[in-house]
Chain A
Amino acid sequence: SQQGEEDPQALSIQEGENATMNCSYKTSINNLQWYRQNSGRGLVHLILIRSNEREKHSGRLRVTLDTSKKSSSLLITASRAADTASYFCATLDNYGQNFVFGPGTRLSVLP
């Protein structure tokens, strides 16, 4: 069952601009994670935000979590061409056992 769903499906911006991606989920969570995937490669963990946190930063990444709206957003500031990738949010499934990923947001950063 699909828990997380990213929005938009695709995003194209110029280098230097900020990129915002959103994730909505259905059930209560302990935490929510964001992953990045370069084309044709595996996923890389970016950041984990716990259910009692509202905002978290890591370098140029800023993640927010609104448990009342069951949503999270990932902001990449001052984007670079190297940020071009797909971004996924992940939450636990309904049984609290395994991670469920949404279809992802494809980000293109144009030089």
Chain B
Amino acid sequence: DVKVTQSSRYLVKRTGEKVFLECVQDMDHENMFWYRQDPGLGLRLIYFSYDVKMKEKGDIPEGYSVSREKKERFSLILESASTNQTSMYLCASSLEGGAGNEKLFFGSGTQLSVL
């Protein structure tokens, strides 16, 4: 079974701190994604990557950046954390496809609180 591992389940940070959220998948998936989930808003795509060193902005990239130096690892970076970035962050991966027939495999999520 595919395993997508997020480095932290819970994280508490201060406003202005630089925050790194790490995600690793073990099934050689081409595609990786970062979503944030807020009550009543569902999942919103922050950034995605279809290949190593490749990144594309999703629907809400402001205040975030990403890094994909290795195929299995996709990092989300909050350059200067703000309270409105308090949220559940979900990493996902999928096989190469692009036609939408592939399914997403999710990590367990990181609940980030910015104080």
- Contact surface of A with B, Cβ cutoff 8 Å: 1-2, 29-31, 33, 35, 40-45, 48, 50, 88, 90-92, 96-104
- Residue pair A43, B104 in contact (C-beta under 8 Å): yes
- Residue pair B103, A43 in contact (C-beta under 8 Å): no
Can you report 12 A-B residue pairs in the complex whose CB atoms are below 8 A from each other? A30-B100, A30-B101, A33-B103, A33-B104, A42-B92, A44-B106, A50-B101, A90-B104, A92-B100, A98-B33, A98-B45, A99-B104
Question: Chain B nearest CB: distance from A93 CB in Å?
Answer: 8
- Residue pair B107, A42 in contact (C-beta under 8 Å): yes
Q: Which of B10-53 contact A (CB under 8 A)?
A: 33, 35, 40-43, 45, 48
- Residue pair A1, B59 in contact (C-beta under 8 Å): yes
State the CA gap A97–B54 with chains docked (Å): 15
Contact code string B80-112 (vs A, CB < 8 Å = 1, else 0): 000000001010100000111101111111010
- Residue pair B43, A98 in contact (C-beta under 8 Å): no
Return the 6 tightest CB-CB contacts between A and B, nearest first: A42-B106, A103-B42, A101-B43, A45-B103, A92-B100, A43-B106
- Residue pair A31, B101 in contact (C-beta under 8 Å): yes
- Residue pair B100, A45 in contact (C-beta under 8 Å): no
State the CA gap A102–B43 with chains docked (Å): 7
- Residue pair B90, A42 in contact (C-beta under 8 Å): yes
